[in-house]
Amino acid sequence: MKQRKLLVWNAVLIGLLLAITLISCKPRFESPDHRFKAEKLNCYSDNAPPIVREEANCYLVREIKTQRIVFYAHPQRYSDFPGVKVQMFSDDSKKYAAYYHYGDKKDESSQYTWVGVWSTESGELLYSREDPGWIYFPEKFPEPKYPRP
């Protein structure tokens, strides 16, 4: 009888720990200096701007200390909603890059990755670039493809 009660209590405790873990695991990504975080948001909510309501894989960048939303990452064309596939902050935390995949899944020649790079200070889209194929593991932070002289 005691063993059965002990097993029941163990199962209850494990269930509670699992539930707490799942609830607290909202996807988010912090900048190297811990000033900013990119949070996955429910694009179907009324709080999201109309541009991002259609795609479930959307991110916003927020200043951690003030909770101020700096910007919503958005795709290349406002009519498209491919969702963020890869994201990263620059080493100095001044920029945020979001990678979006375009093209037909079955036709590799049509596939490309559009990368948008935003300022974490102003929220301005600083530059963008297109690279062939779908990029899943960037080697370094994306620089402008054609830097200004």
Q: Where is 143: in which H helix or E strand?
A: none
User: What CA–CA distance (Å, rounded) separates 89 from 64?
Assistant: 14
Residue 43 has pLDDT above 70, yes or no: no
Residue 22 has pLDDT above 90, yes or no: no
Mean pLDDT of all residues belonging to the chain: 79
Radius of gyration of the chain (CA): 20
Which residues on neighbouring strands pair with residue 102, listed in sequence order? 112
Nearest to 55 by CA among 17, 82, 95, 90: 82
Give the pLDDT confidence of 67-125 residue by residue, as tens digits: 999 998 877 765 555 678 889 999 999 999 999 888 888 898 988 999 999 999 999 99
Confidence band, pLDDT 50/70/90 cuts, at residue 63: very high
pTM score, whole prediction: 0.71
- For residue 125, the model assigns a pLDDT of 93
User: What CA–CA distance (Å, rounded) separates 117 from 107?
Assistant: 27
- For residue 101, the model assigns a pLDDT of 86
